Amino acid sequence: QGQGPRVLYWFRTDLRLHDSPALTHALSLDPSVLVPLWCWDPHYVYRQRGSANRWNFLVSCMRDVSGSLAALNPRQKLHVVRRAPGKVMAELLRRWRIDVLVFEKDTDAYARLRDDEVTSIAEGLGVEVVSLSGRTLFDSDEVVRMNGGKPTMSMNQLVNASKKIGNGIPQKPLETPLRLPDPPEDHELDLSDLDADKVDEGGSNEAMDYNLPQRTLGQKKNTQYETGIMGPAKDFGVPTLEEMGIDPADVTSPHKGGETIGLEVLKSYIENSDYIGTFEKPKTAPTDFEPQATTLLSPHMHFGSVSVRKFWWDVQDVLEQRRKEKKHVSGEPVNLPGQLLFRDMYFATHAKIGFQFGQAVGNSVARFIPWHLQLNYVKGDQDGKPVSDGTYLVDDPQAEEYFRRWKEGRTGFPWIDALMRQLKLEGWIHHLGRHAVACFLTRGGCYVSWERGAEVFEEWLIDHEIACNAGNWMWLSCTAFFSQFYRMYSPIAFGKKWDPEGHFVRRYVPELANFDKKYIYEPHKAPIADQKAWGCAIQGDGLKIEEKGTKVYPKPMFDFNERRQFCLDRIKEAYNVGLYGDDERVLSGEWKKL
């Protein structure tokens, strides 16, 4: 047991023990007492959209970390407290007589507000607060500073800024701790006498309290959450899905969470030198499954169960060895380090813009395009910034139907439907698959706002990351980062190029499993007799999946070539008008008359 301060280590974006700058700092203080804490924050539980698949991934990560803590010290575990940090932190710091509060820096808009509040509560009690970057290759705030205080809107800007930080080279990963100090005595840890109502009186609870946009509720309220600060068993246990109001039967993703699994996955790739050395993102097939063509480490990086710096350095070691052996090494940005730099680019942009990065109105880097269907914005209560009121402006009701059919995977374009069904079922699709469905929903067919698509991704992706999701949706819809709107993906030719046999479609749209490959991407063109022989009639809008004992798959919901031309014309017009999200005409709603 150390001789140093009593330390509260607050896990959030860093569910790992390896390469954690914040945890390493906490342990370097030689704590006499260490409490590893997780606050089950209602903002994420109730405010953000989230699928059973993502919650399951998170809970698996929490369980894994808790087990690893216990393996280092049998008295240790992840102490899960079921209250908003802003409400409960003062009480915990006082009761456990904490001297230093340590956590990994989080630059997400909500997290900054929450952390500012918690920091001022802690400092008010005389507690030292230490927050260290570890979620990205480079500290996102530093990147912005080195980019002249501006958001990084291109890879070049990111790379140039990073060169001014560490010569463009991230810090080496830190060692995993080998031992842990004890937590406080059991009687000190016991919070069962705590008056929950009293805790609830003070501090902020969720987005509403910080004047952030009101979003659809994620999960239904759960009474065990409301009452038991230490959990129903009064043991700070990691929550079960049921306690979170989630039916375990809704977990359909095969992808598993946790540092142990994440590091095994990383290792398996690192051992494959040819895979690492020749990786070029545009050459990986979005139609591959079991195994998929890319690493699928994104959910691990989202929850911090794999360190991005370890990923970077393990890959660099392989590349270095290959260079020595004069073997092929692909370059940035298409190689794996390049992918991680894209991630840093979006994190830095989000760090600079704040919560308005995730919305069309008020967003200074997003071109404003008057889509058929988009979120309505009103002035925020406190600072007057625009916030969505959760309603939608619809200038073509047909687009609502397009949106519904896109989300439900019944557009009649098997490539798009297969991807959307894979997304819902498994919580992950390949990057180029995300390209295909995002382009199709926005500028490449439906002409629906990118925000609506981003909401569906927010709900279903297990790797949902506010910065990467909003940034990539803006890229694909040509509202920011990318502007070549005339380059559009065909919902027929794109899939066919990668998978002429249609294996991917057959797997995720099983009603088409028997179709000849000639028709697999355009089943409505198959003769009726063949449709019968192959056991699926192409008719209707996909709401009925069976008719008189025969399977049914819908006809295409529109003529793609017609929609393509329509979108091109409309986007060209919007580009000519040239509004951005923070333009007065957008903020005042005057755009509706333009």
Interface with ligand FAD (CB under 6 A):
281, 294-298, 301-302, 336, 339-340, 342-343, 346, 430-431, 434-435, 438, 457, 461, 463-465, 468-469, 472-473, 476
Give the count of alpha carbons within 13 A of 387, CB side only: 18
Least distance to ligand FAD, CB of residue 438, Å: 4
In angstroms, give the least distance from the CB of 177 to ligand FAD. Answer: 25
CB of 370 to ligand FAD, least distance (A): 21
Query: 3-state class of 250 per DSSP?
Result: helix
| Shortest Å, Cβ 491 to ligand FAD | 15
Name the residue nearer to ligand FAD (CB basis): 127 or 265.
265
Is 170:22 a contact under the CB 8 Å cutoff?
Answer: no
C-alpha 287/C-alpha 88 separation (Å) is 47
Q: Which H helix or E strand runs over 91?
A: helix 85-95
Identify which of residues 347 and 553 has a Cβ nearer to ligand FAD in the complex.
Answer: 347
In the complex with ligand FAD, the residue whose CB is nearer, 69 or 419, is 419
- Cβ-based nearer residue to ligand FAD, 142 or 459: 459
Length of the chain: 594
Q: Which is nearer to ligand FAD, 93 or 468 (CB)?
A: 468
Residue 76 or residue 298: which is nearer to ligand FAD going by CB? Answer: 298
320's enclosing H/E stretch is helix 308-324
Least distance CB 408 / ligand FAD (angstroms): 18
Query: Which tokens belong to 134?
Result: 């570890």
As measured in angstroms, the least distance from the Cβ of 472 to ligand FAD is: 3
CB of 463 to ligand FAD, least distance (A): 4
Give the orientation angle of helix 155-166 with respect to helix 336-353, to 10 degrees: 90
Query: From CA 321, how far away is CA 328, in angstroms rounded?
Result: 11
CB nearer ligand FAD, residue 282 or residue 549: 282
Q: Are strands 6-10 and 100-104 parallel, antiparallel or unpaired?
A: parallel
**In whole angstroms, how close is the CB of 35 to ligand FAD at the nearest point?**
30
Q: How far apart are CA 501 and CA 206, in angstroms?
A: 49
Q: Are 395 and 376 in contact (CB under 8 A)?
A: no
CB of 429 to ligand FAD, least distance (A): 7
Give the integer Cα–Cα distance in Å for 496 and 44.
39
* Cβ nearer to ligand FAD, comparing 343 with 367: 343
Q: Which two tokens stand for residue 260?
A: 């142990």
What's 282's DSSP letter?
A: G
Beta carbon nearer to ligand FAD, 91 or 463 = 463
Which has the closest alpha carbon to 312: 284, 339, 281, 348? 339
Identify residue 77 by its one-letter amino acid code. K
Angstrom distance (rounded) from CA 426 to CA 437 = 16
